[in-house]
């Protein structure tokens, strides 16, 4: 789909009759027929979890890597296979009920928009999009077409994260003034763009892998299958990978919208890879759960987070490898990432969690210390919502705003140590030079 068509389609949605919020009325036997775009690595995990639902039939598989496609086909021998999602969605339009998208970030929006245009509910991996304009367009289309949607942030449905959300909203530490979040992972690349080219592996359709992104020669070890997250044209760095998971609970618990200002302390841009180390500071408008404004600091890369009094733990304990700290009027709440209970700190000492302050304890369920069981909740919620039996908790209405927040921090990396000012109403920066990174032209392929 050309970029002009992608954007034009969202403007025409007001003329389109609303579709049902589920496919229940279309399902002849009470089952959900799914099509999967991207079936290797995370795509393989998504396929496994979606298909573990007893009411799912996998009917179509798509991947640009024939080896990955063959492995998925072994698990679902009755599924029709494709290497081009555009052909699949056109040919299988009447035979699929929902679409699961697990591609590199740059293909999330093109594939999702095409699926939603033909009225299909979409489960799309995080971050929802590669560009801010895409996030707003997907949110708009999902709303106006009234489709079931879900972004793939599985921890959103985990017990520990739901518990932390309800504790914060119950006022366990009072109004929150600051959030500090971190991951020492490095999905950045400080080196130069590679020169020359290598032969494209026989199993890979390089043109389809590039998709709507700019054409470039294939180079072994830089793109497919594992390193694309490090590169500007395809991923969103550590912030767009681990940041989405770790941001999600504080963002949801505090009922935040998009930030007012963003500043990224990092190295100068190279035009090819994301910085290997970032410290991103956001300011958000206040909500009922925060001070008048909220300060949010994100640290990633080797050695993250930087030392700060807000992050000192009792008994000289070490911080968890990844996590978030809420700083409030009455204390702090530490949320490790992942599958660890939040910990309350008051006056420099750990305190027992008083769950009686939570009014709706049943909504969080029981703790399950099995990753597959916890992870499947999020996927099964999407399936059940498609069948009219549930509602999703990370629909595009929510996840597009979370993704926009993440992407604004990514853009700030293009302007090291400079504060950017974001206007939510116009979806533009006050700094004109930053606005060109809100979008990118789509290549015809």
> Quick one: 280 exposed, middle or buried, by C-beta within 10 A (0-12, 13-18, 19+)?
buried
Q: Which CATH topology does 21-155 take?
A: Rossmann fold (3.40.50)
The Cβ of residue 38 has, within 10 Å, a number of other Cβ atoms equal to: 27
User: What are the extents of the domains in the chain?
Assistant: 21-155, 157-190+221-366+412-437
Q: How far apart are the first and last CA of the chain?
A: 9
- Sorted by sequence, the CB contacts under 8 Å of residue 140 that are 6+ apart come out as 10, 13
Residue 326 in 3-state DSSP? strand
269 and 249 in contact (C-beta within 8 Å)? no
- Rounded (5°) CA angle 267-270-272: 125
- Sorted by sequence, the CB contacts under 8 Å of residue 356 that are 6+ apart come out as none
Residue 235 in 3-state DSSP? coil
Q: Which residues of 221-259 are buried (b: 16+ CB within 10 A; e: fewer)?
A: ebbbeeebbbbbbbbbbbbbbbbbbbbbbbbbbbebebb
Question: Is the peptide bond preceding residue 225 cis, with omega within 30 degrees of 0?
Answer: yes
Beta strands in 23-152 (DSSP E): 32-37, 56-62, 80-82, 98-101, 122-125, 149-152
43 and 65 in contact (C-beta within 8 Å)? no
Residue 151 in 3-state DSSP? strand
Closest to 130 in 3D by CA, of 63, 214, 207: 214
- List helix spans (H) across 82-173: 85-91, 108-117, 132-145, 159-169
Of 3.30.360.10, 3.90.470.20, 3.40.50.300, 3.40.640.10, which CATH number belongs to 157-190+221-366+412-437?
A: 3.30.360.10
- List helix spans (H) across 170-306: 206-210, 237-253
**Amino acid 16: pLDDT:** 35
Task: Give 161-190 as a DSSP string.
Answer: HHHHHHHHHTTTT-SEEEEEEEE-------
**Amino acid 5: pLDDT:** 55
The Cβ of residue 377 has, within 10 Å, a number of other Cβ atoms equal to: 18
297 and 280 in contact (C-beta within 8 Å)? yes
Task: Give 418-439 as a DSSP string.
Answer: --EEEETTTTEESSHHHHGGG-
Query: CA 72, CA 38: separation in Å to the nearest integer?
Result: 10
Q: Report the DSSP beta bridge partners of residue 124.
A: 101, 151
Radius of gyration of the chain measured on its C-alpha atoms: 22
Residue 308 in 3-state DSSP? coil
Q: How far is CA 229 from CA 12, 35, 353, in A?
A: 33, 24, 38
Strands 349-351 and 343-346: what pairing?
antiparallel
Closest to 251 in 3D by CA, of 381, 393, 398: 398
Query: CA 198, CA 214: separation in Å to the nearest integer?
Result: 18
| Global model pTM greater than 0.75 | yes
CA 375 to chain CA mean position, Å = 15
Instruction: Give 273's DSSP letter.
Output: B
**Amino acid 223: pLDDT:** 97
- Sorted by sequence, the CB contacts under 8 Å of residue 248 that are 6+ apart come out as 153, 155, 156, 161, 394, 402
Closest to 184 in 3D by CA, of 32, 74, 384, 323: 323
pLDDT tens for the 445 residues of the chain, in order: 455 555 544 444 333 334 345 565 455 689 999 999 999 999 999 999 999 999 999 999 999 999 999 999 999 999 999 999 999 999 999 999 999 999 999 999 999 999 999 999 999 999 999 999 999 999 999 999 999 999 999 999 999 999 999 999 999 999 999 999 999 999 999 999 999 999 999 999 999 999 999 999 999 999 999 899 999 999 999 999 999 999 999 999 999 999 999 999 999 999 999 999 999 999 999 999 999 999 999 999 999 999 999 999 999 999 999 999 999 999 999 999 988 999 999 999 999 998 888 887 677 777 766 767 777 999 999 999 999 999 999 999 999 999 999 999 999 999 999 999 999 999 999 999 999 999 999 999 9
Query: CA 253, CA 241: separation in Å to the nearest integer?
Result: 20
């Amino acid at each position: 789909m050309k970029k002009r068509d992608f954007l034009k389609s969202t403007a025409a949605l007001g003329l389109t009759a609303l579709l049902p919020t589920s496919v229940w009325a279309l399902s002849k036997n009470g089952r959900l027929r799914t099509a999967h775009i991207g079936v290797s690595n995370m795509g393989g995990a998504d396929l496994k979890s979606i298909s573990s639902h007893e009411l799912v039939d996998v009917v179509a598989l798509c991947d640009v890597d024939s080896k990955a496609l063959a492995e998925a086909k072994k698990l679902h021998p009755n599924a029709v296979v494709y290497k081009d999602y555009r052909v699949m969605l056109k040919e299988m339009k009447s035979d699929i009920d929902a679409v699961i998208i697990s591609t590199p970030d740059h293909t999330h929006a093109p594939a999702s928009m095409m699926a939603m245009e033909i009225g299909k509910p979409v489960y799309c991996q995080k971050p929802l999009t590669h560009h801010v304009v895409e996030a707003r367009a997907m949110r708009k289309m999902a709303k106006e077409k009234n489709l079931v949607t879900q972004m793939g942030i599985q921890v959103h449905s985990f017990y520990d994260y739901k518990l932390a959300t309800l504790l914060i909203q119950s006022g366990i530490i009072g109004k929150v003034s600051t959030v500090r979040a971190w991951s020492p992972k490095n999905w950045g690349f400080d080196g130069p763009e590679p020169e020359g080219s290598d032969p494209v592996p026989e199993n890979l359709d390089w043109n389809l892998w590039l998709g709507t992104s700019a054409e470039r020669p294939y180079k072994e070890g830089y793109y497919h299958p594992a390193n694309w997250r490090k590169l500007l044209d395809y991923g969103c760095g550590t912030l767009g990978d681990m940041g989405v998971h770790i941001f999600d609970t504080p963002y949801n618990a505090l009922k935040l919208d998009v930030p007012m200002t963003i500043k990224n302390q990092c190295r100068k841009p190279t035009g090819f890879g994301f910085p290997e180390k970032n410290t991103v500071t956001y300011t958000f408008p206040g909500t009922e759960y925060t001070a008048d404004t909220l300060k949010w600091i994100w640290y990633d890369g080797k050695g993250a987070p930087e030392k700060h009094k807000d992050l000192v733990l009792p008994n000289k304990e070490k911080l968890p490898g990844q996590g978030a700290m809420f700083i409030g009027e009455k204390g702090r709440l530490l949320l490790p990432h992942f599958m660890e209970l939040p910990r309350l700190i008051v006056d420099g000492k750990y305190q027992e969690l008083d769950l009686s302050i939570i009014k709706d304890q049943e909504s969080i369920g029981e703790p399950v210390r099995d990753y597959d069981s916890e992870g499947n909740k999020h996927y099964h919620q999407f399936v059940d919502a498609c069948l009219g039996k549930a509602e999703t908790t990370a629909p595009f209405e929510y996840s597009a705003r979370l993704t926009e927040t993440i992407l604004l921090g990514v853009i700030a990396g293009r302007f090291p140590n400079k504060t950017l000012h974001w206007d939510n109403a116009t979806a533009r920066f006050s700094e004109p030079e930053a606005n060109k990174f809100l979008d990118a032209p789509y290549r015809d392929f």
